[in-house]
Structure 1
């Protein structure tokens, strides 16, 4: 059995956040690119059926592809992240998935409110202020990162590497 994740991949963000993620996010070192989590953990990989894959395709096919920009730095107690603006389309995707898979709440059910975000650095305490300053400086130099996700991805971790098991196109 392996862990799975439903996410929006945001390769456009790598130029701004890639070096931070390589250093401060263990998932990046295991092959998981810049992304916005929709549901984690999702379903153990051994339990994913063709019917579930079809349900994921159906959910995605009814939702317009989200467009957003990443220009604002946010934080949780030990995480530095970028906020997608507007957040509402991403919240709508996560909510549709939660309705389709009620046993698998958005954010894994660990947090009362789902906050769409692209994690840049995790488990940071002492270096948090410096990371925020550097990330804001990079955004000022680069400008906002614009994202358009044509599909959502089902990703699987075997505890060493993340790999994509499926892509589910959004309504175009």
Structure 2
């Protein structure tokens, strides 16, 4: 959910994320040490859109639109079998990733003013485990993760989270059908 900026979050920033509680036993120790998003209160997740709209623009009408939009998508099962990398980032790759891509596309179609990662990166579904580390550290983390793989997860919801200035707080959940 974050990038390489030293202060990546802004008060009132929002994100749409798919929580993956099934990942916690495999990734919690690593995320708590090496992912600032975890330390700021966000559970293991796959990002749908970050940043989304500013919190000041997310009202009951926006939530109703999101509820209807996500309710048109089926819940789905996913597996996390292998790790992947971006520069300085270690993540778990979801299989299949197409359902996550469809959720992102639906949000962007309805809210083109909120492109994923501000349009800076092409969206690529992933569950971040560590970021801002060199390859040696990422290699060690990956070795430590392997015994916890693979695992399966069910995706029944998308959550809206808001940054308070100190942590990310859950604001709403939207059920997939």
TM-score past 0.5 threshold: yes
**SS of alignment partner, residue 43 of structure 1:** coil
The 1-side partners of 2:98 and 2:37 are apart by: 26
Q: Which of 125, 135, 144 pairs up with 1:116?
A: 125
| Structure 2 unpaired stretches of 5+ | 1-10
Q: Residue in 1 aligned with 2:5? A: none
| Structure 1 unpaired stretches of 5+ | none
The size of the alignment, in residue pairs, is 166
Q: Which of 157, 168, 177 pairs up with 1:162?
A: 168
Task: Provide the alpha-carbon RMSD of the alignment.
Answer: 1.2
Runs (4+) of structure 1 moved beyond 4 Å?
Answer: none
Report the Cα offset of residue 163 of structure 1.
Answer: 1.2
Q: Which of 107, 129, 136 pairs up with 2:139?
A: 129
Q: TM-score, normalised by structure 2?
A: 0.89
Determine whether 1:42 maps to 2:48: no
Q: Residue in 1 aligned with 2:93? A: 83
Report the Cα offset of residue 66 of structure 1.
Answer: 2.5
After superposition, give the CA deviation of every residue in 1:70-93 in whole Å (9 maximum; x if it has no partner).
111000001000000000111011
The 2-side partners of 1:149 and 1:129 are apart by: 28
